[in-house]
Structure 1
């Protein structure tokens, strides 16, 4: 594990992957596992869920899992958290004895695999074969406020000052790096390909039924109305929040009186950002749009209804 001597609270439980300050990883995402992904065997029927941290990972994985089980929610509820959160860069770590990439290598197809990794750290076969890839993006302001709460929630991070985290987020020096770089690299690499689906968190929240149908069609699952209803009911935020309480190893992952999911609402940043912080984000957005040549707002504002 790389040395973390230059890191101080709230980031002492992290490390700089390859020494890059824009590649901050929690120690549970073991660098040996990330290095090993270059030889990971990808299957054409794999389903990869790609998100930046706090962009709706649990939300989309529950939708996909429910669809792939054809609405059989009892089968899903038998899973523990360590069997559900299959970030390919995860482990070994406390509560996770086997690195995820080793664990999923033994699974039957089709496999559902999640990741927060940028394009260049993914298994190369993801791009030479044709697994299904679902990218979910969310307003970076909401990601930022959710990440701040996450630091106070999980044991593998440390609580931190809100103003401090805002500054670090804009600098790209938070876990998994820069929000803009993550999105731009995935869109530039996969945009327009038939095995790639991009969804906005904001659209999923607006129309969970429509989003679930889109995902089912993309994955090739023809669910009947009863099966789809069970998918949609299961992925109601309040239902998921209560359900996640039953599958999470609280003593391993969570601090006292904290829960895996918080609010799950769109626009929560408006009640937390100061005018100055909003202006800082606007300047950052304009600068990154120019740098990457992408109008990022289209990736995190609700799609206008036709």
Structure 2
């Protein structure tokens, strides 16, 4: 058995070729996000939409079983540390993506060029969620502080655990995706490299592009939009039930969303007090952390990131 200390001080080796050649089904639905963009939130919403708002249908089941991470699941066979992480995420032994009933809900943080080739070939449905990068930076910093691991993909070098003294140390590495700031931002993927390709495809029939900030403002409307895209008919009562169940306050009391077992056994924190998977939520949290100088630097770099694009993100409400 791999102990918690080993997990907390090691990176994961992703099975890149296995991921690229993954057998995609025509009715698969992929949730794609840059990390810390509302992934846990969407992993709660999508199964409920799929089940017509039936909360009992997902009660007691790990959200990582209902909406498994493609890259982590496919890498578990080759990585004992990943297998132990799967266990702490309440994923049962023998769990396999090819055994899931269709339609499958799958999630990934990989940017487009590292995803299975068949996603494009079969034009499967993709739900992409984007969040403003300033709030992502803050959320990522707290996540790194809690998890203490460096997600360097495709490297044979051991990952190094490191605690940033404060946000000022983390900030410059986040902007260029170096060191432990990568977390699971694979191959040093920066925000615009992940988001913009899907923004350019937002009008494709198989792509639904959502913004985290819109979900914060009107979750009910977004649930309806998701259901329509997934070809699921929801009653008004079901939409209201999903909205209420997935409110931030409800998520803060949801043991499965908080990943209680992982937080307790691996991170050594009480999930209800400090889960890095459901922390604060909201829009404009960066204003409490970024200095004037940091914000000016971020703005300059952000303008370079989106140069030539018509994407507009909401940075405060």
Q: TM-score if structure 2 supplies the norm length? A: 0.79
Q: Gaps spanning 5+ residues in structure 1: where?
A: 1-11, 15-26
Aligned partner of residue 300 in structure 2, secondary structure: helix
User: Which runs of structure 2 are paired with 1:63-212 in the superposition (5 Å)?
Assistant: 63-84=45-66, 86-90=68-72, 91-92=75-76, 93=82, 94-96=84-86, 103-154=96-147, 156=149, 158-160=162-164, 161-173=166-178, 174-175=182-183, 176=185, 177-188=189-200, 190-212=201-223
- Kept in 1, the 8 Å contact 2:198–2:209? The answer is no
Question: How has the CA–CA distance of structure 1 residues 273 and 80 changed in structure 2, closer, same or farther, with 3 Å as cutoff?
Answer: same
In 2, the alpha carbon distance for the partners of 1:166 and 1:302 equals 19
Confirm whether residue 275 of structure 1 aligns to residue 292 of structure 2.
yes
Residue by residue, what CA displacement relative to the aligned partner does 1:85-110 show, whole Å, maximum 9, x if unpaired? 5221114212326899x821211101
Aligned to 2:267: 254
In 2, the alpha carbon distance for the partners of 1:285 and 1:205 equals 22
Q: TM-score if structure 1 supplies the norm length? A: 0.82
Aligned to 1:19: none
* Alignment root-mean-square deviation, CA: 2.5
In 1, the alpha carbon distance for the partners of 2:35 and 2:264 equals 22
In 2, the alpha carbon distance for the partners of 1:280 and 1:302 equals 18
Question: How has the CA–CA distance of structure 1 residues 167 and 251 changed in structure 2, closer, same or farther, with 3 Å as cutoff?
Answer: same
Confirm whether residue 235 of structure 1 aligns to residue 228 of structure 2.
no
Residue by residue, what CA displacement relative to the aligned partner does 1:18-69 show, whole Å, maximum 9, x if unpaired? xxxxxxxxx23x322x321121111111111111010100112211111011
- Kept in 2, the 8 Å contact 1:155–1:252? The answer is no
Q: How many aligned positions are there?
A: 273
Question: How has the CA–CA distance of structure 1 residues 182 and 108 changed in structure 2, closer, same or farther, with 3 Å as cutoff?
Answer: same
Residue by residue, what CA displacement relative to the aligned partner does 1:116-150 show, whole Å, maximum 9, x if unpaired? 10111000000011221111001100000000010
Q: By how many angstroms is 1:264 displaced?
A: 0.7
Residue by residue, what CA displacement relative to the aligned partner does 1:244-281 show, whole Å, maximum 9, x if unpaired? 36753233443323213110111100011000110111
